[in-house]
Structure 1
Amino acid sequence: MIEYLSIHGLGVIGDATVELDPGFTVVTGETGAGKTMVVTALNLLLGARADAGAVRHGASRATVEAGFRLAPGNAALRLAAEAGAVLDDDADTDDGAEPALVVTRSVGAAGSSGRSRASAGGRGVPVALLGELGEHLVAVHGQTDQLRLKSPAAQRHALDSFAGTAVAEALTAYRRDYEAWKQSAAELAEITTHEQDRAREAENLQRSLEEIDHAAVEAGEDAAVRAMIERLENVEELRAASLGAHAHLAGADAAETVEIPSAEALIESARQSLLAAPGQDEDLSGMARRLAEAGILLADISGDLAGYAARLDDDAGADLDTAQSRLAELTRLMRLYGPELADVIAWAETHRPRLEELQGDSGRIDELTAEVARLEQQVLAGAAELTRLRGEAARELSGLVSEELHALSMPDASFHATVSTGGEPGPHGADEIRLLLQPHAGAEPRPLGKGASGGELSRVMLALEVVLAATDPVPTFVFDEVDAGVGGEAAVQIGRRLARLARHVQVIVVTHLPQVAAFADRHVKVTKDSDSEAGFTTSDVASLDGEDRVGELARMLAGRSGSGAARDHARELLEASHA
């Protein structure tokens, strides 16, 4: 709901702020006082096109601000928060749980350099965002305003909301089947349309995976092969070094042509010398044991050197070719599938499931074909059920709205909510929902907004909103001159229905009929003050109660607020409307 509305420099209103309450608020005033500026201000806050000519004479800008108190689930809060708006969740209210949102709009005067500006929650936003917010904040019905339910989507949503849980449950089940159907159909189309491409992809994948599998790649293998190549390239030098070292350890026999003292023999001779010493000297015995250990260690090293030299056989050249070929193969795989051999292995494991998927296309096509056919039947059955339920709701809605129209001085008018099928199933079913008005007997029902005057259209929307209020509410409804062209008992019925609508939502009505104004919970008057010497007119906005309200109703009844008879009649209206 709207908590307050501030207007500065708009039309005849210089500076005015009005506090608003839940329920039914009426705005009255003499002709030309500026009542419609209230509606103009709200339209600006809802993203309407700015008119620089509406800026008050002498002012550089017109500024409008409104504070909204909204239920936590209202979509406008999400949209505003996404735009960076600051929401007041701790305002001092009776039910402080409802977030508050402040929206402003300013318009530069004609000829000024100022542009239209908008903000939500203290953050500058595009004017277009105000229009999006407005769809969830306020519904304005006036002589020239657009219809809240003008779009097919809005009309379908209104009928579905009116239909209640039966359609809601059927629609949930239908959407589940519809999404599954579209997903399976898209997958089937993908497979069949790109069958040749998928076959080529499978062939290439199989070739690559076979190549990797045949190579039997191991992570880190390339480093080992490079080390082997380096050793094989230096085989002669390695053989000479190992044999020379072995000769020094094993003696002249191992060196073949060169007499080299045996390190093993020398150590053994040294040990024997120590053992031949007289007596049992513990120090010499310990060193003799250490020499024995050294001799064993040298014998082991000598054996290892001999084995190493033996392995460097005459086939080293062939081994080198094999190692270089292996390294070339590994390098090619790394160039194709990854910078490291671990990446090559990972690539194979990642793409193996894709190959299995592609190779199973023929079976998958049969499976999907059956699945699509099954889901299509479920979707068609669900769409038919939605059509049936919507048809029942449409007939009930048509009857209720038509009854309201008859009470609103449109006795020959009838409202028609129609449900037609024949199109392809979509996310919301296969139905086309249309809300039509037959203004009088014999006329063809026409879409809302066509074939009806502004006053008639406002009454049609009032009748529709009264019926839909409990199921599809917007927090605030504004009606501008909804009572145009009516009076007497019809005006009373309009007031009564506005009051009924206000049980569910906030209602703001601009009217000139006292029969309507008497039903309001709050009365706001726009007063005009002309200053001929200064050359401008100023309007003020004030809330009325008690005798002030009685006086305003008397003015509306008789043209004079001081008339005793008119004041008595005004009190009678107030008593009757709140009985």
Structure 2
Amino acid sequence: MLEELRITGLGVIEDTTLPLTRGMNVITGETGAGKTMVVTGLGLLFGGRADAARVRAEPGRAVVEGRLRLTGAVAASVAERVVDAGSEPDEDGSVLLARTVTAEGRSRAHVGGRSVPVAVLGELGEQVVAVHGQSDQLRLLRPAEQRGALDRFAGPDHDKLLAQLRERYGQWRAVEDDLADRRRNARERSQEADLLRLGLDEITRVDPQPGEDDALKAEAQRLEHAEGLRTAAQVAHAALAGSGDEAPDVTSLLALARRTLETQSTVDSLLGELAGRLDEVATLAGDISVELGGYLDALDADPDRLQEIYERRAALRALTRKYAEDVDGVIAWAEHARTRLSELDTSDELLEELDRERVRLAGEVAELAARVRAARIEAAGRFADAVTVELAGLAMPHARVQVAVTPRAVGRGEPSLTVAGTECGIGPDGADEVELKLLAHPGAPALPLQKGASGGELSRVMLAIEVVFAGAGGPPTLVFDEVDAGVGGRAAVEIGRRLARLARAHQVLVVTHLPQVAAFADRHLVVAKDTGGAVTTSGVRVVEDTERARELARMLAGLPDSDLGIAHAEELLAVAAREKHG
């Protein structure tokens, strides 16, 4: 649950804190006081889109902070995501979330004091909070949203079946598109394949090896300068090992120097150390002399080998001019060409194999779509019955909801398949149209929601659906932003009663103008506007007892100090208390 929400610098709210509780939290206030900013702040806190226009000029940034208490079924998964983000819950099992938006539009997010991508807040929000406003009622009029609502109600087994359908559908479409592309572009593919084969044949004849050009370049350089290399090596070898005449060599001179120093090493130990180092030098000089001798024996000015290297390097340069900058690039090009050739294959054998795969996958997609349809039809009956029962408790006792699951029409720019004996359009979500219909009273025709429901009826249908969803699980915190618009009288009381019932198993936040709904609150918060200063600001306070009755009186008649209004408000509170504890 969300224990506390602090908002600073957002719209008319300068700095305010909302202490929230379990159960039903109601937020009321005059029109324009800033109730919407509370819901906007919640949206920002859980990864919603930032609007820099809502940031107050002073201090030039909006900050929303919330303390989330990790309890219930989602606690483990939320804690795991927090740890994955590089943070961890506090010792008391809570975690602090924060979102900052500057007047320039820059946005930052923090979880447990650690900076995280804004998307992390969105992922946490999906698990812990569901926000429902009047825009959600409009979305409920869309067929895709109605299908999504039914799928959500159908349960986890249905979700797994849908996931299988989407995966198989993607495979089927990939094979279908591949086969169509091979057939449609057979000539272009054949021409591209011919060019690739020519290149591969040329490269295969030369058979370049990794790093070969650098090795050949070094060998050619040695052969081109063989005489100069030989002279240098001979002179150096003679200086180290002697040339056979009387001239002294380095090895002999080093030996003489070492022996001379050793004769006096008993007198001065430093000379002994130097003699030892000369011995090391003499050993190194001897090793170099031996290696120079081997180098001279191996050095060979071979004109034939040099010509062979020239020809080989010319062949490699011909490849690098056509296919890549160096030999390694030519080898990589050949590997890519072989892979591409397999993709360009338009042989009859491959086309037949792909066609068989297409038919097989299409059959699996159709079979899965039929199972999805059957599951939707079964869930539709349960869903309609459950929503109808809730509508009876929302002052619509004669209304009934029907959920029609029908095959999707062919010819909407999407593929078609025969599903359960009927040809229909199909997509990754199946081959069905789902439509919620309302029978407002006995004898009335079943009409789509957008035609059969008034604004107040649509609000109650939406609430009934949410109550049904709550019984099937879902996020632990539910936010309702003026979903009771267009409702009054007895229906308003019933909405308050249903929200209070939801609050038994969920944390519920309700923004409302209806005193009948506010009376059922476990905690009542009032957003009040302060126009006393140069800049209008709003704050939030908790109201209880007499102050709460005065707020309900204001909502009832606009007269917070009216004795009659207060008496009526106290009666509303008493009725609500009996309903909640009865």
Structure 1 length normalisation: TM-score? 0.63
Q: Deviations over 1:73-99 (max 9, x none)?
A: 999x98x999xxx9974446x423xx4
**How far off its partner does 1:408 sit?**
0.8
Q: 1:543 to 1:210 in 2, by over 3 A?
A: closer
C-alpha distance in 1 between matches for 2:139 and 2:200: 61
- 1:375 maps to 361
- 1:39 maps to 36
C-alpha distance in 1 between matches for 2:516 and 2:121: 34
Equivalent of residue 196 in structure 2, options 193, 205, 213: 205
Contact 1:229 1:323 in 2 (8 A): no
Q: What secondary structure is seen at the aligned counterpart in 1 of 2:484? A: coil
- 2:494 maps to 493
Residue 37 of structure 1 aligns with an amino acid whose one-letter code is G
Contact 2:439 2:445 in 1 (8 A): yes
C-alpha distance in 2 between matches for 1:325 and 1:538: 86
Contact 1:159 1:390 in 2 (8 A): yes
Identical-residue share of aligned pairs (%): 39
Q: Deviations over 1:220-267 (max 9, x none)?
A: 696699689979xx9xxxxxxxxxxxxxxxxxxxxxxxxxxxxxxxxx
Q: Deviations over 1:158-185 (max 9, x none)?
A: 2112101331222122123212212222
Q: Deviations over 1:112-139 (max 9, x none)?
A: xx77886644999999999999887452
Aligned: 1:574 with 2:544? no
User: What is the correspondence of 1:148-547 to structure 2 with a 5 Å cutoff?
Assistant: 149=140, 151-215=142-206, 219=212, 328-337=314-323, 348=334, 351-352=337-338, 354-355=340-341, 358=344, 361-422=347-408, 423=410, 424-440=425-441, 441-442=443-444, 445-448=447-450, 452-469=453-470, 470-473=472-475, 475-480=477-482, 482=484, 485-488=487-490, 490-511=491-512, 515-526=516-527, 541-545=540-544
- 1:249 maps to none
User: What is the correspondence of 1:50-65 to structure 2 with a 5 Å cutoff?
Assistant: 65=64
Q: 1:39 to 1:163 in 2, by over 3 A?
A: same
Q: 1:481 to 1:535 in 2, by over 3 A?
A: farther
Q: Bigger shift: 332-341 or 132-141? A: 132-141
Q: Bigger shift: 19-28 or 217-226? A: 217-226
- 1:250 maps to none
Q: Bigger shift: 457-466 or 539-548? A: 539-548
Residue 477 of structure 2 aligns with an amino acid whose one-letter code is P
Q: 1:198 to 1:338 in 2, by over 3 A?
A: same
- 2:98 maps to 102
**How far off its partner does 1:382 sit?**
1.0
Contact 1:5 1:17 in 2 (8 A): yes
C-alpha distance in 2 between matches for 1:357 and 1:537: 67
C-alpha distance in 2 between matches for 1:105 and 1:189: 49
Contact 1:530 1:538 in 2 (8 A): yes
Contact 2:50 2:107 in 1 (8 A): no
Q: What secondary structure is seen at the aligned counterpart in 1 of 2:34? A: helix
Structure 2 length normalisation: TM-score? 0.63
C-alpha distance in 1 between matches for 2:336 and 2:10: 68
**How far off its partner does 1:530 sit?**
8.7
- 2:255 maps to none
C-alpha distance in 1 between matches for 2:10 and 2:366: 58
Q: Deviations over 1:502-540 (max 9, x none)?
A: 244332224465553443222224567897xx9999876
C-alpha distance in 2 between matches for 1:204 and 1:536: 74
**How far off its partner does 1:336 sit?**
3.2
Residue 461 of structure 2 aligns with an amino acid whose one-letter code is V
Contact 2:513 2:555 in 1 (8 A): yes
Q: 1:528 to 1:225 in 2, by over 3 A?
A: closer
Contact 1:405 1:459 in 2 (8 A): yes
**How far off its partner does 1:342 sit?**
6.4
C-alpha distance in 1 between matches for 2:117 and 2:506: 28
The count of aligned residue pairs is: 474
C-alpha distance in 2 between matches for 1:35 and 1:138: 24
Q: Bigger shift: 354-363 or 471-480? A: 354-363
The alignment's C-alpha RMSD in Å is 5.3
Contact 1:517 1:553 in 2 (8 A): yes
Contact 1:140 1:148 in 2 (8 A): no
Q: Bigger shift: 119-128 or 541-550? A: 119-128
C-alpha distance in 1 between matches for 2:355 and 2:202: 35
Q: Deviations over 1:255-314 (max 9, x none)?
A: xxxxxxxxxxxxxxxxxxxxxxxxxxxxxxxxxxxxxxxxxxxxxxxxx9xxx99x99xx
C-alpha distance in 1 between matches for 2:321 and 2:142: 59
Q: 1:455 to 1:387 in 2, by over 3 A?
A: same
- 1:255 maps to none
Contact 1:45 1:130 in 2 (8 A): no
Q: What secondary structure is seen at the aligned counterpart in 2 of 1:404? A: helix
User: What is the correspondence of 1:58-97 to structure 2 with a 5 Å cutoff?
Assistant: 65=64, 67=66, 69=68, 89-91=88-90, 94-96=92-94
Equivalent of residue 563 in structure 2, options 557, 560, 566: 560
Residue 23 of structure 2 aligns with an amino acid whose one-letter code is G
Contact 1:414 1:439 in 2 (8 A): yes
Q: Bigger shift: 541-550 or 192-201? A: 541-550
C-alpha distance in 2 between matches for 1:128 and 1:503: 31
**How far off its partner does 1:369 sit?**
0.5
C-alpha distance in 2 between matches for 1:551 and 1:483: 22
Q: 1:507 to 1:362 in 2, by over 3 A?
A: same
Q: Bigger shift: 551-560 or 171-180? A: 551-560
Contact 2:190 2:346 in 1 (8 A): no
Residue 139 of structure 1 aligns with an amino acid whose one-letter code is V
C-alpha distance in 2 between matches for 1:500 and 1:193: 61
**How far off its partner does 1:493 sit?**
3.0
Structure 1 gap ranges (5+): 107-113, 235-303
Q: Which of the pair has more CA radius of gyration?
A: 1
Residue 393 of structure 1 aligns with an amino acid whose one-letter code is A
**How far off its partner does 1:417 sit?**
2.9
Q: 1:186 to 1:504 in 2, by over 3 A?
A: farther
C-alpha distance in 2 between matches for 1:21 and 1:115: 34
Aligned: 1:20 with 2:20? yes
Contact 1:35 1:526 in 2 (8 A): no
Q: What secondary structure is seen at the aligned counterpart in 1 of 2:366? A: helix
Q: Deviations over 1:445-492 (max 9, x none)?
A: 2345x664443332221111101123444733224272754334x444
Q: Bigger shift: 560-569 or 330-339? A: 560-569
Residue 464 of structure 1 aligns with an amino acid whose one-letter code is I
Contact 2:33 2:527 in 1 (8 A): no
Q: What secondary structure is seen at the aligned counterpart in 2 of 1:211? A: helix
C-alpha distance in 1 between matches for 2:86 and 2:543: 31
- 1:252 maps to none
C-alpha distance in 2 between matches for 1:517 and 1:73: 33
C-alpha distance in 2 between matches for 1:159 and 1:23: 27
Residue 410 of structure 1 aligns with an amino acid whose one-letter code is M
C-alpha distance in 2 between matches for 1:511 and 1:227: 89
Q: Deviations over 1:349-392 (max 9, x none)?
A: 66445546656733211111100011101111111211121122
Contact 1:118 1:125 in 2 (8 A): no
Structure 2 gap ranges (5+): 228-296, 411-424
Q: 1:325 to 1:502 in 2, by over 3 A?
A: same
**How far off its partner does 1:437 sit?**
3.8
Residue 183 of structure 1 aligns with an amino acid whose one-letter code is A
